[in-house]
Structure 1
Amino acid sequence: MAQTQQKKLGLTGKILIGMGTGILFGLLLRNLFPESQFLQDYITDGILNVIGTIFISSLQMLVVPLVFISLVCGTCSLSEPSTLGRLGGKTIAFYLFTTAIALSMAIIIALLIHPGNASLAAENMQYSVKEAPSLANVLINLVPRNPIQAMTEGNMLQIIIFAVIFGFAVAHIGERGKRVAALFTDLNEVIMRVVTLIMQLAPYGIFALMAKLALTLGIETFESVVNYFFVVLGVLLIHAFVVYPTLLKAFSGLSPLLFIRKMRDVQLFAFSTASSNATLPVTIETCEHRLGVDNKVASFTLPLGATINMDGTAIMQGVATVFIAQVFGIDLTITDYAMVVVTATLASIGTAGVPGVGLIMLAMVLNQVGLPVEGIALIMGVDRLLDMVRTAVNVTGDSVATLVIAKSEGAFNEVVFHDTQAGKTTGSFVDQVNYEAKE
């Protein structure tokens, strides 16, 4: 009986089946009923949209309470200001370092492959972008005037700032603070239990998301920019499976292969949802229970990474800048490309929390080097597909940074990391879902 139970499908397998069958289902309906209004109204915009949206909403529902509670818990354990400052400095420095690498690599590869074709430029290309905030406004808006409003609006940087200050205060009020910290620890367990419950819906939600994507996204939308698409995709894969593993090995000495193996569920969730924030509950659970990172580090670095670490977006910006310059026949100098790296790296923090942040950042970069913002219209058709891959890259980078920093801070359990079965005794979301499915 035990052997039979072990052969039952795990969460990773269920997610892969949900993705595959969703895509096949969508393509089948699309070919059987082309241009069907009934299909559009009742299946694509009806059933599939409802199921997919409910699943995404259920994940996003957890983001604000999870970030706030986990950050308070983590900061409570960092009672010394020097410890908090050191941890924050290391985290931001590592994120900026990997973003600069991603941008530089994207620009160099794009220049070598030359994906742009000047014949693609069209006079009627139009794209309007929201104005990016000034640096002064970015700094002012870091501190929330109303923490409750920041939570209701999902302003992650403001939530992070308030949670860190709140947790730091809790750690410095003696016995009363210990009681508050214990309450937040219990609340953290409750939130993780909710994550476990929602994960049981994952295969069905992902099926609906993939089916809708197959029904709505046409191959013809990226025929004219197929070279751009594959250059961005190639650089994303290199960054995820070459650069990150190399950095992990160099800075921590840990096995990149074992890391990638344990990250499969997180990467699949990120790919399916195209949202680092929606994937955050899964990322935190995996880092703590499967990779052996202490909560005081994971609860700080991961929410911060989901907000400011945008390596995948940086890669898109680097390739897109070269691509648009080539399409419009504009020659950029080495100084221009250096400016692109600096601007986009700093913008990854400066524009965090702004709706449409990726496109706003790209518009900022294009304006910085004198390229027409209208060129963004060329790449809009394939951006949804690339956004899914970018998100998987981003969460992988968040986890690498978390491991490296945890190892340097002595907040890492190497036994858990090397244990391929880690998590079964700690109630991680994957094992809990699999266990309950067998009951």
Structure 2
Amino acid sequence: MKKLALHWQILIGMALGIAWGMAASYLGFVDFTLAWIQPFGVIFINLLKLIAVPLVLVSLITGVSSLSDISRLSRIGSKTISIYLGTTVLAVTLGLVLVNIFDPGKAFSPEKREEFKEQFASTTVQKSSDAAAVEQQGPLQPLVDIVPSNIFGSLTDNGAMLQVIFFALLFGIALIMIPPDKAAPVNDFFEGVNLVILKIVDIIMKTAPYGVFALLAGLVVDFAGDDPGSAVELLLVLGYYCLVVIAGLATMIFIVYPLLVVFIGKTKYKSFFEGIFPAQMLAFSTSSSAATLPVTMECAEKNLGINKEITSFVLPLGATINMDGTSLYQAVAAIFIAQAYGIELDIMAQLGIVMTATLASIGAAAVPGAGTVMLVIVLQQAGIPVEGIALILAPDRILDMCRTTVNVTGDATVAMLVARTEGQLHPPKEITTT
């Protein structure tokens, strides 16, 4: 018998977790659930936190060092990275605008938000203390904080992820600048470690159905207590949150990218989407930019008429560092969780989310589940309770499918823009949709 795909296993785990939580509230198994089931959810969260730092460090070093001959590709490379970073910042900003307008986390009743706030009162107090300490610092202190004084100390603290990202960028750039024969063994080492890290992520994601079950069971029990009707409120609010995320992703894929394609890429809206459609569908079904990459390259070359020299550089790099959909989702999810816990984030904190989500997207692996790992980083950097990730894991698989589609579409869009500005965009061949 064929084994169920992981996304179906996660959805089943989600449904069973909710059902168990509801039943436990009705039948008086609350204490049993909290003592014997919820801890497995905590273990799952710890596994995500465990892999976060090495995933970012190694993925980012390999991504930057893949530029290889920087003298030949300096113009194309700088142009590509600039556009990638620009679209990512735009996506994160769009997510923040939408989540602040619609306030999905505030759809929880005031009483429930007060419960969350009390549950994590110590975190909130600590955040307030940190904010007061920041007020005593100079305007350039955030810049100072990004540069580590001891990288090994930063590697042991998930909250210092910006320092890890800074070091990885510096290391990757230096790796490009040394003689290729000296850099080759180092590149091989990190590529090998990167494969190991991705395999660990794969192993962790195999436990996701059980982790989601335990998290959802514990969350529903925590939320509902002796009043199972309260769980209905949770499901409605999660639906509202999903609509906000999907609205942001739809804006990127149906408004932002088409505008770039039409006005800069000088290509018809319909032609672009017909050309990239096979890659979009594969991205939707696999939730993996890396798995979709061969199809994305084929569609870009055959259907969109982009020169192979551009696609062979821009698209693999995009699969590593360009995660517009993931970044938008992280921005919405982070603010949603903060709102659910009654934590008010000022403009500086939200700008910090923009920076962290943008830089973290550079180190996000192009595999299912990596976005969740990156969200842990964003939450920790912003001082938002990481436990709140349980609130958004239930619908995450469906959202992962949608945001991966946006990621792949964004890669193809940037490839087209770079090809147009380099004079390497030619009339496409007959489009194949099979």
* Partner of residue 304, structure 1: 317
1:282 correspondence with 2:295 = yes
CA contact (8 A) 1:245 1:256 kept: yes
* Partner of residue 292, structure 1: 305
CA separation of 1:137 and 1:236: change in aligned 2, threshold 3 A = same
CA contact (8 A) 2:287 2:400 kept: yes
Distance 1:343 1:130 in 2: 12
* Partner of residue 407, structure 1: 420
* Partner of residue 342, structure 1: 355
Distance 1:263 1:341 in 2: 28
For residue 100 of structure 2, the aligned residue among 105, 111, 136 is: 111
Give CA deviations for 1:35-61 in whole Å, capped at 9, x if unaligned.
Answer: 9xxxxxxxxxxxxxxxxxxxxxxxxxx
CA contact (8 A) 1:262 1:290 kept: yes
* Partner of residue 244, structure 1: 257
Deviation at 1:150, TM superposition (A): 4.2
1:372 correspondence with 2:402 = no
* Partner of residue 79, structure 2: 90
* Partner of residue 44, structure 2: none
Distance 1:422 1:394 in 2: 21
CA contact (8 A) 1:222 1:381 kept: no
Deviation at 1:359, TM superposition (A): 2.9
CA separation of 1:384 and 1:222: change in aligned 2, threshold 3 A = farther
Deviation at 1:233, TM superposition (A): 1.1
Distance 1:279 1:353 in 2: 9
For residue 101 of structure 1, the aligned residue among 71, 90, 101 is: 90
Distance 2:414 2:361 in 1: 16
For residue 248 of structure 2, the aligned residue among 212, 224, 235 is: 235
CA contact (8 A) 1:249 1:255 kept: yes
Cα RMSD between the aligned structures? 4.2
CA contact (8 A) 2:289 2:366 kept: no
* Partner of residue 225, structure 1: 238
Distance 1:399 1:254 in 2: 12
Counterpart of 2:302, as a letter, is: H
Deviation at 1:229, TM superposition (A): 1.0
Deviation at 1:362, TM superposition (A): 2.1
Counterpart of 1:259, as a letter, is: F
Equivalenced residues, count: 303
CA contact (8 A) 2:99 2:335 kept: yes
Counterpart of 1:292, as a letter, is: G
CA contact (8 A) 2:322 2:361 kept: yes
CA separation of 1:351 and 1:274: change in aligned 2, threshold 3 A = closer
Equivalent runs, 1:124-163 vs 2, <5 Å: 132=161, 134-135=164-165, 137-139=167-169, 142=172, 143=175, 145-155=185-195
* Partner of residue 282, structure 2: 269
Deviation at 1:107, TM superposition (A): 0.7
Distance 1:274 1:354 in 2: 7
Give the TM-score, by structure 1 length: 0.59
Deviation at 1:315, TM superposition (A): 0.9
Deviation at 1:141, TM superposition (A): 5.8
Deviation at 1:247, TM superposition (A): 1.4
Distance 1:357 1:318 in 2: 15
Counterpart of 1:92, as a letter, is: I
Report SS of the residue matched to 1:257. Answer: helix
Distance 2:407 2:366 in 1: 15
Distance 2:313 2:80 in 1: 9
Counterpart of 1:346, as a letter, is: L
CA contact (8 A) 1:309 1:394 kept: yes
CA contact (8 A) 1:267 1:395 kept: yes
Report SS of the residue matched to 1:410. Answer: coil
Give CA deviations for 1:401-432 in whole Å, capped at 9, x if unaligned.
Answer: 00010011111103x1xx5x246xxxxxx66x
Deviation at 1:326, TM superposition (A): 1.1
Give the TM-score, by structure 2 length: 0.60
Structure 1 residue runs of 4 or more that deviate by more than 3 Å after TM superposition: 120-125, 129-133, 139-157, 216-224, 350-357
Distance 1:400 1:282 in 2: 15
Report SS of the residue matched to 1:305. Answer: helix
Give CA deviations for 1:163-213 in whole Å, capped at 9, x if unaligned.
Answer: xxxxxxxxxxxxxxxxxxxxxxxxxxxxxxxxxxxxxxxxxxxxxxxxx9x
Distance 1:147 1:364 in 2: 25
Distance 1:231 1:325 in 2: 15
Counterpart of 1:112, as a letter, is: I
Counterpart of 1:139, as a letter, is: L
Distance 1:147 1:98 in 2: 28
* Partner of residue 361, structure 1: 374
Report SS of the residue matched to 2:267. Answer: coil
CA separation of 1:92 and 1:155: change in aligned 2, threshold 3 A = farther
Deviation at 1:388, TM superposition (A): 0.6
Answer with 86-95 or 349-358: which moved more: 349-358
Give unmatched runs, 5+ long, in structure 2. 21-61, 121-156, 176-182, 198-208, 218-230
Distance 2:355 2:188 in 1: 34
Distance 1:156 1:277 in 2: 15
CA contact (8 A) 2:288 2:367 kept: no
Distance 2:283 2:368 in 1: 19
CA separation of 1:124 and 1:387: change in aligned 2, threshold 3 A = farther
Counterpart of 2:416, as a letter, is: L
Counterpart of 1:88, as a letter, is: G
Distance 2:350 2:186 in 1: 40
Deviation at 1:376, TM superposition (A): 1.1
Counterpart of 1:370, as a letter, is: G
Distance 1:315 1:374 in 2: 20
Report SS of the residue matched to 1:387. Answer: helix
Counterpart of 1:335, as a letter, is: M
Deviation at 1:156, TM superposition (A): 11
Distance 2:377 2:77 in 1: 26
